Amino acid sequence: MEGYDNPINWHTLTSEEALKRLNSKPEGLTPLQVKQALASYGKNQLPVTKFNGIVRLFLRQFTEIMTVILLAAVAISAALGEFTDALIIFTILILNAVLSTYQERKAQQALLALRQLATPQVKVKRDNSVVVISTQALVPGDIVLLEQGNIVPADVRLLTVQGLQIDESALTGESMAATKQADALDSPTLALGDKGNLAFKSSVVTLGKASGVVFATGINTEIGRIANLLDQEKQAKTPLQVRLSSFSKYLVLAILCVCMIVLLAGLLQGHPLMTMILTALSLAVAAVPEALPAVITISLALGASKMLKQQALIKNLPAVETLGAVTFICTDKTGTLTENKMLAKHIFDGSDDITKLSDTHYLLAVGMAVSNDVELRNKKATGEPTEVALFNMAALYGFDKKQLLDKFPLVSTIPFDGTRKKMTTIHRCDTGFIAFIKGAPEEVVTSCSTGEYGSEKTDFCAKSILDKVEDLSSKGDRVLALAMRKFDSLPDSNEPNSAESELTFLGLVAISDPIRSEVPKAVQQCIGAGITPVMITGDHQGTAIAIARELQLGKGEIIALNGDELDALSDEDFLNQVVKINVYTRVTPEQKLRIVNALQQQGHFVAMTGDGVNDAPALQHANIGIAMGQKGTDVARGAADMILLNDDFSSIVKAVAAGRRIYDNIRKFIKYTMTSNSGEIWTLLMAPTLGMPIPLLPIHILWINLVTDGLPGLAFSAEPAEKGAMKKAPRKQQESIFANGMWQHILWVGVLIGALCLGTLKWALLQDLVYWQTMVFTVLVFAQLFHSLAVRSDIESLFTQGIFTNPFLIIAIAIGAFLQLVLIYTPIFNELFRTQPLPFSDLGLCVAIASIVFIAVETEKYLIRKKFIYSLSKNDT
């Protein structure tokens, strides 16, 4: 592939010269050539943010401010000869770092898997066969096939062009799409936007088709050179992370005050300065959830990985968090609510209903057979579903596309777009040229001036045909109109109006698309969860309303609005009506954006599906943009937060349910951790204030932070969804993470834990027990373990929820309890952690005292349930 690395004016070369330079040919590269090119030029990808290696991840754990303070404390302890304390604190810090490193490494692996799944694909010709490959596998010399909606995967010298237009605004700043051609250009010094026979990586095909040969990949492309000059953007924090980081800053200030109080109180009681400094520092580390934002990111990343099982690929991690707040799901109909397996079942020729195609309707049959992009692969028709339906019906009655194309060779194509709502193919025929047009009936029929009903031409009546369209659509069928026009000379395919006016009407075809079997249940789940499903479709209103009624959108009360009616409404009028409308028909992508804006202005959280190029603005503007994985364009997938791999509406509902579960589990983790920290603070703050000795040593606090916070806290990520999670209203968009009584729970349960620890301390001192500190330490550990069991649900009792429904939490609690017993009853740990063996009676007393936390929280939940049930019954009456 000589010349690839040298500056070549590719636009001045002819197609043959470009292929020769790249050692390629129209049939594509051979497997050996591809292998050699990959070895020479590498993958076709721009630089991406690299993940830190495991050593760097480990070392990064020691950069947190609290960890740095503790390391300083280790150094001071060692300098003062307290080597045992220094060693224990350092060992616990190492264990914490290992655990955090493992968590982040798992998150990296999950994100890497998601990144690989999100890689776009492209059609290429290799070894004279058309194959679909990852864009990263492209090499110079590859022959790529482009069509409307594709993102250009590399820098390409165009070889063949059919009405091609490309949006190059990202490179040139020119808002108008550039019209492309395949001929060589003369001037070697053209500006980028004037190189009309080149297509550049990351630009967007907005119209037409083309083939081309790749001459630059990856960093060697135009966009790659620009990207190489830019710093990689830092990964944005999720809204949840931002709120928690802000909370942590305020908490740090509060804890510093508490630490100063503990330090001064301990010094006044005569405790050694070093002991009190270490106690204050350890308390700060235990109380501040400095690693919480990182834990949240890990939870979101692992949650996104789990969502893949529900056929939902999460591209942006904040989408996991925000899914639980969705109040409106605006969804396409075809392929999302329905199977997208369309069958042509009814034909109307303008005067009569016909049951089968014959030579009497020859041109109608020809149009159905040849005016499409359908291809036969393994004897199966593949392509756009409505085109496949027409193709299959024509083939059923003996009208073979391949044979008919011999008689009517394809000359050019005018692709479908959302504005014209038509698609046209132009063919050579005996008398010159003939154009076959198909599309939305109101667009095609109104462009007709004559009709060919069977073998006769009669006066054309558009109104009667549109009345028939209304009748067919009211039964839930999708209706297409077909027409034709003959020409003496070839019309300009770049000017659609020249080929799509003064048409001769050929017929209507009614096509049915069955509802997906799982969708009705999913729609009702949405409604039960306080989420309003809205159908937005380019289809006819009668078709959409029939489907909506069958699905019981709006609980059976269907309020529909078509695109023309939407345009006629002022912004104020539409804003007042938008929450009542559950079906939109014949809407343009621009109108989709208007719908999203209106719902958001009413305070709603909107999920929007889309598959086309022009859907990208609505997908980006929606709170959650959802692209179709099967029928969606590259542009739509690029703009979306989530990709439905199976294009199925029920997968959206499953993803919302998973999002709610993940958010609930994050709240449980925060509730548990902050309550534990609150208990430790109250214990250490109130003891010296009440004239009692410092109840815990620094190593005890650090141990609690590692065992009772770390192990059960991680297990909360595996907590199953609570019963009725999809029967609750969505959480409010601006709702605090500490809403719904969480901060009150953190406060009162923290006070309870502190009181139990101080009560144990006072009792042990009155009994002159030398192991009083071990008892307080044990009560605090077991109180937090009991608390982790109780907070698995905000309302439901553990006994009805099921103790073993989260085996990971049970295992974590068992490990924590076992390790605590090792510290109490093993001589070497007695010496290291300043613990003493407890008589079994006193151990039982400690566990019994700690269990009061479990009883208290279960009582709290019982009272909440009673109040909740009472409010429900009151509302019912």
Half-sphere exposure of 414 (CA within 13 A, CB side): 25
- 639 Cβ contact list (under 8 Å, min separation 6): 610, 615, 616, 617, 619, 620, 625, 627
- Which CA distances in Å does 668 have to 103, 319, 790? 18, 19, 10
Rounded Cα distance, 222 and 239, in Å = 34
Burial of 38 (0-12, 13-18, 19+ CB in 10 A): middle
DSSP letters, 436-479, are EEEE-HHHHGGGEEEEEETTEEE---HHHHHHHHHHHHTTT-EE
Q: Which residue has the tokens 């209304």?
A: 470
Q: Are strands 503-512 and 448-453 parallel, antiparallel or unpaired?
A: parallel
Inter-residue contact 536 to 584 (CB < 8 Å) = yes
Q: Which residues contact 806 (CB under 8 A, 6 or more apart)?
A: 715, 718, 719, 720, 792
- Of 85, 332, 513, 641, which is the active-site residue? 332
CA 867 centroid distance within chain: 37
What sign does the CA torsion over 63, 67, 70, 74 have?
negative
Active-site residue, 332 included:
yes
CA within 13 Å, CB half, 447: 26
Backbone φ and ψ of 129, nearest 5°: -130, 145
E-strand ranges in 555-637 read: 560-562, 583-585, 606-610, 624-628
Reading the block at residue 5, the tokens are 């690395």
645: Cα within 13 Å, side-chain hemisphere: 15
Q: How far from chain centre, in Å, is Cα 312? A: 7
Q: What is 690-734 written as a DSSP string?
A: TTPPP---HHHHHHHIIIIIIHHHHHGGGPPPPTTGGGSPPPPTT
Write out the two tokens for 328: 């409106």
Residue 317 DSSP symbol? T
Sign of the CA dihedral with 148 first, then 150, 152, and 156 last: negative
Q: 271 near 698, Cβ under 8 Å?
A: no
Q: Count CB atoms within 10 A of the CB of residue 446.
A: 13
d(CA 642, CA 304): 10
Closest CA to 585 of 423, 433, 469: 469
Q: Which residues of 283-313 are buried (b: 16+ CB within 10 A; e: fewer)?
A: bbbbbbbbbbbbbbbbbbbbbbbbbeebbbb
Quote the CA–CA distance of 666 and 791 in Å, as a whole number: 12
Instruction: Name the residues annotated as catalytic.
Output: 332
